[in-house]
């Protein structure tokens, strides 16, 4: 899986990289978020492990954009974990669909 390509796509779709200091995400995780409705955010978390690259996507309710990474979400409405190249196909379709 090419995480650099994924990150470039997220930046082109107006996602913002979130600096996280809380315990919600792993320290080495790159977190990108976009508000899709008031206080409802689409997040992509990219974890780089020694053996695999893992991308997680979730739609969650937070108090505000600033609370992402500091507090746990109030509610998680959607979660997807992408661990291999077959899952990447669904991920790419989701990005295309969410643009409409």
Whether 18 and 62 have beta carbons less than 8 Å apart is answered as no
Tokens of 3: 């995480």
Task: Say how far apart CA 44 and CA 69 lie, in whole Å.
Answer: 12
Tens of pLDDT, residue by residue over 14-69, are: 899 998 776 778 877 889 999 999 999 999 988 876 455 688 889 999 999 999 98
**What pTM does this model have?**
0.78
Tens of pLDDT, residue by residue over 19-31, are: 877 677 887 788 9
DSSP, collapsed to helix, strand or coil, labels residue 12 as helix
Taking the CB of residue 4, how many other CB atoms lie within 10 A of it?
8
Cα 96 to chain center, whole Å? Answer: 15
Nearest to 76 by CA among 86, 89, 61, 54: 61
């Amino acid at each position: 899986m090419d995480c650099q390509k994924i990150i470039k796509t997220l930046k082109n779709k107006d996602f913002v990289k979130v600096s996280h200091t809380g315990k919600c995400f792993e320290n080495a995780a790159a977190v990108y978020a976009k508000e899709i409705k008031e206080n409802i955010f689409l997040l992509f978390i990219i974890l780089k492990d020694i053996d695999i690259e893992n991308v997680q996507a979730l739609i969650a309710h937070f108090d505000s954009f600033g609370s992402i990474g500091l507090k746990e979400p109030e509610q998680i409405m959607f979660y997807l974990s992408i661990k291999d190249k077959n899952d990447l196909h669904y991920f790419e379709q989701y990005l295309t669909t969410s643009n409409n």
